[in-house]
Every structure is written in C-alpha cells, then in structure tokens.
Amino acid sequence: MNTQELALVFYTILVQMSVGAFVILGFVHLYAERKSDQKNADEMSDRALLAIGPVVVLGVLASLFHLGNPANAFRAVSNLGTSWLSREILFTLLFVGTGAVFAVLQWRKIGSFRLRQMIALAAAVLGVAVVYSMSSIYQLTSQPAWDSLATPINFFSTAFLLGALVLGVAFVINYSYLQGKKDRANIDIQSEMLRKVLQWIALSSIALLGLQLVVMPLFVSQLSAGNAAALESAGKLTSEYGWIFAVRLVLVALGAGVFGLFLYRNALLNNQRMMANYAFVAFALVLVAELLGRYLFYAMHVRIGI
Amino acid sequence: MANQLGFYVDMSRCTGCKACQVSCKTVNQLPLGVTWRRVVEVDGGEWIQDGEQYVPSNVFAYFVSAACMHCENPLCIQVCPAAAITKRDDGIVLIDQDKCIGCRYCEWACPYGAPQFDADRGVMSKCHFCYERIDGGEKPACVEGCTYRAIDFGPLDELRAKYGDFASPAPLPEASITSPSIVYSPTSHTLAEGSPMGEVMNREEL
C-alpha cells in the first residue's frame, strides 16, 4: 500500500459513513414524526444532520491526497461514459450539494415540509448511488481480490453499520443537550424516542455484523479457488496481514455484537447512563474495525499478469 | 482497427539481456521507478528420483519482453476518469500527462503493468511506441536496441500473418481481457498463460 491508497481508506470510510447516516437519519425522522410530531422529530434529528456535513467534507478533502496531480482534479469527471471513477466523483458532488441544500432548508425551515422531504429523498438516492459507484470502481478483471460481490456488500454494510452507530452517538449527545435546555416540556417524548431508536440501531448493527460474518468466509474461499493473483491475495489476508485481519474481526464482533447487545439491553431497560456509554463504545470499536478492514482491502489486492 | 501497430518478440532469440529495457529507458529518459519495457524471467523444473539420489529434470528458463500492448480493448482508456488516455489512428495508446490527475486507476486496471506512476511529476507514464521516432521514419528504441534482433514492430495484421497470433506466454494474462497488439514466437519451453509450472524470478524488477 502506498500513501495515496491510505488517503482512500479515509475517503471511502468517511463518505460511506455519511451516506449511511444520512439515509438512516431519514428513517429515524419518519419514525419520530409518526411517534410525536414534526417539531419533536426535528429536535431529535436536525443537529445530527448538520454533523454529517463536516464528516463528508473531510472525506472529500482526504480524496484529494489520493491524487498525484491535484491541480487537475477538476478533470476527474471527464469520462462519465465508461469510468466508474468519474461517475463516483459526480455522484459524490451531487450528494454533497443536494445534502447541503437540504440541510440549510431544514435548519432554517425554508420551504414546505413536503418539498424538504423530496430534496432529502433525492440526496439519499444520490448517496446510495455514491456507494454503488464506489464499489463498481473495484470490479476490475485484473484485481481478483476486488472483483467480487463481496466488495459492494462490504461497502454497503460499512455505510449502514457505521452510519447507524455514529447516529447513535449523535442522538445521545443531542439528548444530553436537550436535557440541559431550560424548556424541557418535551424531554419525556425525546427520551422515549431515543431509547426506541437506540434499540433499532443496536439490532441493525447485530444484523449487519451477521452479514459480514457470512460474507467473510465465502469471500476467502472464493479467493482460495481463484487464479494465482487471487491465491496471493488470500495469502496476504490470512498470513502477512493475518493479525490485522484477526484484530479487525474481534473489534467488529465486540463493537457491533457484544456492545450492540449491551446497548440494546440497556435501551430496552431505559438505563440512560449506560446506554449512552455503550453507544459511544460500540461506535468507537466499529470505526477502528472498519478502518482496519478498509486498510486490508487496499493492502491485499494483487494484480494479475505482470 | 485496420492499421493497428503492434510489437513482435521472437522468444527463441531473446537471452534476457534487457538491452531493450535499457535502450527504452535511455532514449525516453525515464525516471527512477518507471520502466516502460520490462523483461520477465520465468524459470521452472523439478527434482526426480534416480536410484538413491534426486536429479534435476525439465529445467528451463525463458524471457518475456513486454511493454504497453497498445490493446484493441484498452482498459486504461475505459477507466481513466480524466479522459487523459487516447488511441491514435494507428492504434498507439497515449497518456496526455497534462490532463492526467495521477489517480493511478489505470495502474490498477492494466494487467500488463504498463501505466506506471512517475512520482516526480505526480502523473502516469507509459510506453508510447516511440511515436515521435516512428512518425519520423525511425524504429522504436527497444527494436533498435535489441542486440539479438528479437523485437520487431509493424502493422499487427502483417505480424500475425507472418508469425501467428500467440499473445499470452505466462505470466502474461489471457489475451481475451484486453486484446493486446502483440505477437510472441514461443520457444519449446514457453508456458501458456495460467500455467503453474513456471515461476517469475525477477518480480522486484518488474
């Protein structure tokens, strides 16, 4: 791996996390609106929405470090006809742009609720297109370790796993902010929504962990049955980088599995202090696990031929 | 492409001296770390039991001189987000370094390792078939530099009519992936693509 590929580790993780958080936040808002009203739903989700902005911008900035010649970066959308990289960059720009427009309208409550909802839906669809085109970049015949269904599955599972858990943290912080406000009329409904949403976040994390644990061995056995380059990649994953692979698996199982379960349990019992702590720990562990996993993705690939 | 140019390598003449590689590097003034034409050494053989002892058997070595294949289906052009790579009318595939963004996507995609990163300039660099020399009626540096006259070039149709269409000695990939504009004359030891019998001995040089 070279430093340019290290930039991609941060770019792909941060952007995927942002897309996942944005999409899931939409569902949370829908739920909160039905459970209470628009105002309470906004109170719960608006600050989290604004927090996505810096994360995605940081990701896009990281991507510039991937370029040997960033002065030409504007040319990167010149081959939309055949290059998935061009498409990915276009979709990323559209996602960031539409998401930013939505965030401003939503924050300032400009335009009707319906209109804002439509813009948010458009941004969410663009976000999914970002992750899809990102994974299509790696569907290269020359790179058997990437040219697999495992790539899109992993990218989407990263998006939703990290997206869900980072929202958990955001909601916990938002709730403690609401608790500190003078007007605490709605704190009970906010507390009720928080613990319900944290339960769903915990269950989704456990489900996505399950998906990862199914895909992982299938992927390794697919590589082991492949050509020389595929075998070399499998060897890198299990020997040269075997310990990173092991640490990554332990961390994701701990974060999404064990702490996911703790989070679910404490949210169910409405044990507020503990569920806040577990939301933080689960996110931190899974973030490190996903960064290591993405590092492996770029460290293990071996090109066929010469 | 009707008038596609291609390279021809007579593997039975090649001794692996790498004069082609050096000639290319000198004429094109390539920086450290960029080697447009590379010579792969593939060795193989086994030990067989002969009474009380093991003796070597089927020992062989051959060399594959390879540069950009100026493919009919160039993956580099397909994936380049900046549209910085183009194919001329005579089939030569060229990188426009003024347009290149240095994302190295072509390096991932090309199974011949042809596009290489020029770290000094931050852009990709690749064999351009010495197009300026060809346009001026000269031969490419590798063709001229080969001490054994093992490398030639010309219209691909003519090369194929003369020498056949073998394009994938191991460790080169299947020709169907990119349809490379190359013809190799194999030796009796040359392994076909995908064979596990030989091993590349000079990976760090490639």
- For B38, the closest chain A residue by CA position comes to A306
Strand partners, B66: B38
> Are the CB atoms for B114 and B76 separated by under 8 Å?
yes
**All domains of chain A in start order, with CATH:** 3-300 (1.20.1630.10)
Pairing, β B53-66 against β B38-50: antiparallel
Give the gap in angstroms from C-alpha B7 to the nearest C-alpha of chain A: 17
Cβ contact (<8 Å) for A85 and B79?
Answer: yes
- Mean pLDDT score of chain A, rounded to an integer? 96
As to burial, measured by CB atoms within 10 angstroms (0-12 exposed, 13-18 middle, 19+ buried), residue A162 is buried
Cβ contact (<8 Å) for B123 and A76?
Answer: no
pLDDT bin (cut points 50, 70, 90) of residue A15 is very high
Domain extents in chain B: 5-195
Cβ contact (<8 Å) for A67 and B122?
Answer: yes
What's the rounded Cα separation, in Å, for the pair B69 and A104? 52
pLDDT bin (cut points 50, 70, 90) of residue A288 is very high
pLDDT bin (cut points 50, 70, 90) of residue A3 is confident
Cβ contact (<8 Å) for A305 and B102?
Answer: no
What's the rounded Cα separation, in Å, for the pair B158 and B162? 6
Looking at residue A219, its pLDDT comes to 97
Give the gap in angstroms from C-alpha A172 to the nearest C-alpha of chain B: 39
User: Measuring CA to CA, which residue among B89, B93, B91 is closest to residue B110?
Assistant: B93
Q: Provide the 8-state DSSP code for A225.
A: T
Looking at residue A184, its pLDDT comes to 83
pLDDT above 80 (res A25):
yes
Cβ contact (<8 Å) for A68 and B113?
Answer: no
Mean pLDDT over B124-136 rounds to 97
Looking at residue A4, its pLDDT comes to 81
CATH-assigned architecture of domain B5-195:
2-Layer Sandwich (3.30)
Cβ neighbours of A141 in B, within 8 Å: 75, 111, 177
Cβ contact (<8 Å) for A72 and B200?
Answer: no
- For A83, the closest chain B residue by CA position comes to B79
pLDDT in tens, A176-212: 999 998 888 899 999 999 999 999 999 999 999 999 9
pTM of the model: 0.94
Q: Assess A83–B contact: CB distance below 8 Å, yes or no.
A: yes
Q: How far from A295 is each of A141, A185, B55, CA to CA, in Å?
A: 21, 47, 45
pLDDT above 70 (res B73):
yes
Mean pLDDT over B10-31 rounds to 97
Contacts of A38 (CB under 8 A, 6+ apart): A113
Give the gap in angstroms from C-alpha B53 to the nearest C-alpha of chain A: 32
pLDDT in tens, A123-171: 999 999 999 999 999 999 999 999 999 999 999 999 999 999 999 999 9
Q: Assess A304–B contact: CB distance below 8 Å, yes or no.
A: yes
As to burial, measured by CB atoms within 10 angstroms (0-12 exposed, 13-18 middle, 19+ buried), residue A151 is buried
Which residue shows structure tokens 């973030």? A287
pLDDT in tens, B51-69: 999 999 989 999 999 999 9
pLDDT bin (cut points 50, 70, 90) of residue B1 is low
> Are the CB atoms for B80 and A79 separated by under 8 Å?
yes
